[in-house]
Amino acid sequence: MLFPPADFSQLRLITKQIQQGEIDLPIGKKSLIALDKMVEEPEVVATNNIVELSTILNFSPASITRLAKLLGFQGFNQLKLLFKQRNKQANSFYSDKVQSLLNNKNQTSKEYLQDHFQQTYLASKKEIDEINQESLDKSVQLLAKKHRVFIFGYRQSSAIANILRYGLALLRPNVQLFVQADHGAAVALGQLRRDDLLVVIGSAPYSNITLNIAMLAKKQQCTLFAITDTHLSPLNDHAELAIHIPTSGPYYANSLVSQCLFIESLLCLTAMELGQGAINSLTHHQELLAQLDVSS
């Protein structure tokens, strides 16, 4: 790993590697705690001067400067610039994607469709090949066995959350979306209990709403399962279990193809785990559909 890190993602990776002992850097415990807080709340670093930040972190300005230099920066201002660039990148996420499409208009429509499929296939295959078997098995156990399952996704991820909620509710009771409406997220968070599972779905650019819900849900001591895009996702820091499914690709927003494939597979594995219980639940659902005279 080169110092200083070139962007915010590299800084996040360095922080994780230091915490895991993969990088031998002479950094004190207080400095590592301060760095972790900075990475967790990048907007705070991007929008405050060094004196204001030192008050927020309870970490002296001189110590912040030493930390910046330890990471290879000339000083705090250069470190802060990395955080500010991170914000800028997030805000231009969608328009940058369209700009890349406009820069590659020489393809025919058929060629573009084939290229899009190939890129999505290769990215999905790579990530699925790398999924840890133990993590996959644990995710199935959580969905099948936890007393109540809440599911949350914001913006595009709400579509994936709805697919998971619908499919899982066919197999077992006590499955619902984590809803912010009416009295807001605080009331919904207050309903979470130790025996509950909250599935949080989110990809870059990560919304503050998703991150805050994950952070506060962890404090409620319920189990948190994150379905996110990469090992650099900030959702990893709050989740007991995280599985990474790519959402990057030629599409100008997050691609949902790989996540949808994963969710369908996860639901099938959960049905296999529930066995006769899943069949009983589906049979009851079918009987209700027949009574309502609704096509299944």
Q: Are the beta carbons of 178 and 149 closer than 8 angstroms?
A: no
Average pLDDT, the chain: 87
What is the pLDDT at residue 261?
A: 92
Q: Are both 283 and 159 inside the same structural domain?
A: yes
What is the pLDDT at residue 202?
A: 93
* Separation between Cα atoms, residue 259 and residue 197, nearest integer Å: 19
Q: Are both 181 and 270 inside the same structural domain?
A: yes
Q: Are the beta carbons of 132 and 241 closer than 8 angstroms?
A: no
Domain count, the chain: 2
Q: Are both 188 and 56 inside the same structural domain?
A: no
Q: Are both 268 and 127 inside the same structural domain?
A: yes
What is the pLDDT at residue 86?
A: 67
Mean pLDDT (whole number) for 253-270 = 92
Label residue 224 by pLDDT band (50, 70, 90): very high
CATH code of 45's domain: 1.10.10.10
Spell out the alpha helix ranges (H) of 103-194: 109-130, 133-145, 157-171, 185-190
What is the pLDDT at residue 294?
A: 63
Check pLDDT > 70 for residue 296. Answer: no
* Separation between Cα atoms, residue 177 and residue 150, nearest integer Å: 5
What tokens does 44 get?
């705070």
Residue 146 lies in a domain: yes
Mean pLDDT (whole number) for 212-222 = 87
Q: Which of 91, 109, 141 is the last residue of a domain?
A: 91
Q: Residue 56: which domain range?
A: 8-91
Check pLDDT > 60 for residue 87. Answer: no
Residue 240 lies in a domain: yes
Query: What is the tens place of the pLDDT at every residue in 58-72?
Result: 999 999 999 999 999
Label residue 272 by pLDDT band (50, 70, 90): very high
Q: Are both 161 and 260 inside the same structural domain?
A: yes
* Model pTM score: 0.71
What is the pLDDT at residue 12?
A: 83
What is the pLDDT at residue 277?
A: 94
Spell out the alpha helix ranges (H) of the chain: 8-19, 29-40, 42-47, 50-57, 61-70, 76-91, 93-102, 109-130, 133-145, 157-171, 185-190, 208-219, 257-274, 276-292
Check pLDDT > 80 for residue 235. Answer: yes
What percent of the chain is modeled with pLDDT above 90? Answer: 43
Query: Measured in whole angstroms, how far is the alpha carbon of residue 67 from the centre of its chain?
Result: 28
Q: Which of 91, 108, 137 is the last residue of a domain?
A: 91
Residue 147 lies in a domain: yes
Residue 184 lies in a domain: yes
* Separation between Cα atoms, residue 192 and residue 190, nearest integer Å: 6
Q: Are both 132 and 252 inside the same structural domain?
A: yes
Q: Are both 163 and 206 inside the same structural domain?
A: yes
* Separation between Cα atoms, residue 209 and residue 176, nearest integer Å: 18
What is the pLDDT at residue 121?
A: 86
Q: Are the beta carbons of 39 and 19 closer than 8 angstroms?
A: no
What is the pLDDT at residue 183?
A: 56
Mean pLDDT (whole number) for 221-249 = 88
Positive or negative CA dihedral for 7, 8, 11, 17?
A: negative
Residue 103 lies in a domain: no
Label residue 1 by pLDDT band (50, 70, 90): low
What is the pLDDT at residue 180?
A: 59
Check pLDDT > 80 for residue 221. Answer: yes
Residue 116 lies in a domain: no
Residue 209 lies in a domain: yes
Mean pLDDT (whole number) for 73-99 = 77
Check pLDDT > 70 for residue 199. Answer: yes
Check pLDDT > 70 for residue 182. Answer: no
Q: Are both 269 and 140 inside the same structural domain?
A: yes
What percent of the chain is modeled with pLDDT above 70? Answer: 94
Residue 113 lies in a domain: no
What tokens does 185 get?
């997220």
